[in-house]
């Protein structure tokens, strides 16, 4: 490749200089990334890259729900630098792909809002249980608020996890016999085994 811009190298450079910022994949600066590719093989690879970008972006910004209309204006799908944005139609395709992979659930019939699970409930459950056993708190009881927002869990990845997601994670643990969700006066709690 002699004259053309190497998109992959460019993105590596920007990563090194901005360590704390979200790391955009090289595709983000590649204009064809924002056009749904007609070639089936190419499209498959393109969609895989989109799924990965959408999930890592949500994870970086701790986003759990997305509004499709808003998503189009969000930097993920709208690269102002190269003046390319993913069409509504293409976003729907990407979201559908995420749904198939089990990372997305629609919240309404019109498919205007969705839950994004950049970590599936089982994965979250595993993380929480690891933290519990590491701190010798098996057989202890927690309120859900304590788990997600308490001082003890600050710095943990599941800190400030949205309650619906936290509940699902604990349900996954309950299925494995590692936790039991209990109803308390002012909400829900959990006991780990």
Partner 1 sequence: MDRFSWSNGLLEINETLVIQQRGVRLYDGDDKAKLDVGVALLSTHRLIWRDVQNHECCIAMPLSQIILFEEQAAGIGKSAKIVIHLQETPVNKEPGPYQNSKYSFIKLSFKEHGQIEFHRRLTEEMTRKRWENTPVSQPISAGTSSQAGRTRAVGIVGIERKIEEKRKETDKNICEAFEDLSKLMVKAKEMVELSRSIANKIKDKQGDISEDEERGGMMALTEVYCLVNRARGMELLSPEDLVNACKMFESLKLPLRLRVFDSGVMVVQLQSHSEEEMIASALDNVTDKGSLTAEEFAKLLGLSVLLSKERLLLAEKVGHLCRDDSVEGLRFYPNLFSTA
Contacts of 158 (CB under 8 A, 6+ apart): 124, 127, 128, 131, 147, 148, 166, 169
Least Å distance, CB 47 to partner 1, is 10
Q: Which is nearer to partner 1, 13 or 20 (by Cβ)?
A: 13
Task: Compose the 95-134 pattern: x for residues touching partner 1 by CB under 8 A, - for all others.
Answer: ----------------------------------------
Residue at token pair 């998109």: 7
Contacting residue, 17, 81, 83, 151, with partner 1 by CB under 8 A: 83
Least Å distance, CB 76 to partner 1, is 18
Strand partners, 147: none
Report the sign of the C-alpha dihedral through residues 11, 14, 19, 23, in that order.
Answer: negative
Cβ atoms of 36 and 46 closer than 8 Å: yes
- Read off the tokens for 108: 């309404």
Task: Compose the 3-22 pattern: x for residues touching partner 1 by CB under 8 A, - for all others.
Answer: xxx-xx--------------
- Read off the tokens for 35: 């056009």
Cβ atoms of 173 and 128 closer than 8 Å: yes
Closest CA to 124 of 176, 68, 169, 77: 169
Least Å distance, CB 149 to partner 1, is 40
Stretch 28-67 residues interacting with partner 1 (CB under 8 A): 30-32, 34-35, 37-39, 41-42, 45-46, 49
Residues that bind partner 1 (CB under 8 A): 1-5, 7-8, 26-27, 30-32, 34-35, 37-39, 41-42, 45-46, 49, 83-84
């Amino acid at each position: 490749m002699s004259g053309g811009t190497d998109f992959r190298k460019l993105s590596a450079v920007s990563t090194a200089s901005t360590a704390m910022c979200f790391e955009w994949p090289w595709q983000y600066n590649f204009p064809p990334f924002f056009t749904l590719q007609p070639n089936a093989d190419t499209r498959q690879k393109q969609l895989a890259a989109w799924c990965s970008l959408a999930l890592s972006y949500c994870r970086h910004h701790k986003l759990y729900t997305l509004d499709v209309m808003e998503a189009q204006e969000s930097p993920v799908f709208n690269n102002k630098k190269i003046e390319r944005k993913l069409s509504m139609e293409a976003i729907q395709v990407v979201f559908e792909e995420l749904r198939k992979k089990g990372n997305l659930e629609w919240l309404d019939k019109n498919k205007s809002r969705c839950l994004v699970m950049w970590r599936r409930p089982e994965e979250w459950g595993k993380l929480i249980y690891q933290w519990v056993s590491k701190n010798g708190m098996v057989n202890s009881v927690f309120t859900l608020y304590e788990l997600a927002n308490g001082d003890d869990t600050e710095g943990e990845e599941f800190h400030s996890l949205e309650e619906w997601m936290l509940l699902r994670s604990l349900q996954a643990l309950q299925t494995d016999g590692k936790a039991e969700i209990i109803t308390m006066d002012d909400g829900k709690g959990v006991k780990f085994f």
